[in-house]
């Protein structure tokens, strides 16, 4: 999943800083629109994070929260009786009361963990594009995808 394993700013030669003009708000809005379009053109954008590493992701981007399954299971375990048989009965009742929707949320949460594991994600947050490129530590998904796109565009 190389080449983006480091978090930090991209470096520019000192000579290029002499000609730098700050972008206008209009230019930033156009750039944001272009980046969102390029994100949708990407074959696959996946964000892997947890509750401790919030991200800013546009609508339609799949965000995997690695601790979601544990949070769902912790909710099911609130106030359980001390005996295993009674606790099991309460959990089963809660699962039935939650219906198919709860069962699907649990299944998806565990599938998300398996998907992140299969990609080899090692740090959070991680923005993965096309199951091939990753940016670690960038909570702004649009910015991370832009960095990957810039790398792809300048690749020989």
- Residue range 111-137: average pLDDT? 95
Closest CA to 132 of 121, 143, 146: 121
- Per the domain annotation, does 19 fall within a domain? no
- Look up the domain containing 36 and give its range: 24-153
pLDDT tens track for 37-96: 555 454 599 999 999 999 999 999 999 999 999 999 999 999 999 999 999 999 999 999
- Per the domain annotation, does 8 fall within a domain? no
- Per the domain annotation, does 97 fall within a domain? yes
In angstroms, the CA 118 to CA 48 distance is 12
Q: How many domains does the chain have?
A: 1
Residue 97 pLDDT level (bands cut at 50, 70, 90)? very high
> What count of residues does the chain have?
156
- Per the domain annotation, does 91 fall within a domain? yes
Q: Give one DSSP letter per residue of 93-108, joined into a string.
A: HHHHHHHHHHHHHHHH
Q: Give one DSSP letter per residue of 11-33, joined into a string.
A: P--HHHHTT--PPPHHHHHHHHH
**Is it the case that residue 25 has pLDDT exceeding 90?**
no
Q: Where are the alpha helices (DSSP H) in the chain?
A: 14-17, 25-41, 68-77, 84-119, 141-153
Measured in degrees and rounded to the nearest 5, phi and psi for residue 64 equal -100, 120
Residue 4 pLDDT level (bands cut at 50, 70, 90)? very low
- Per the domain annotation, does 15 fall within a domain? no
Cβ–Cβ contacts within 10 Å for residue 141, how many? 25
User: Residue 15: its pLDDT value, please?
Assistant: 38
User: Residue 155: its pLDDT value, please?
Assistant: 81
Which pTM does this prediction carry? 0.69
User: Residue 84: its pLDDT value, please?
Assistant: 96
């Amino acid at each position: 999943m190389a080449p983006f394993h480091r978090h930090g700013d991209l470096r520019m030669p000192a000579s290029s800083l002499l000609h730098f003009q700050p972008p206008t708000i209009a230019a930033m809005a156009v750039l944001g629109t272009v980046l969102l379009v390029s994100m949708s053109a990407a074959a696959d954008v996946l964000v892997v994070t947890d509750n401790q590493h919030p991200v800013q992701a546009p609508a339609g981007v799949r965000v995997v929260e690695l601790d979601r399954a544990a949070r769902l299971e912790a909710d099911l375990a609130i106030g359980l009786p001390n005996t295993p048989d009674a606790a099991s009965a309460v959990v089963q009742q809660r699962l039935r009361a939650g219906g198919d929707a709860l069962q699907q949320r649990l299944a998806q949460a565990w599938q998300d963990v398996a998907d992140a594991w299969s990609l080899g994600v090692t740090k959070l947050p991680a923005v993965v594009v096309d199951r091939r490129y990753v940016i670690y530590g960038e909570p702004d998904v649009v910015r991370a995808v832009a960095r990957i796109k810039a790398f792809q565009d300048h690749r020989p």
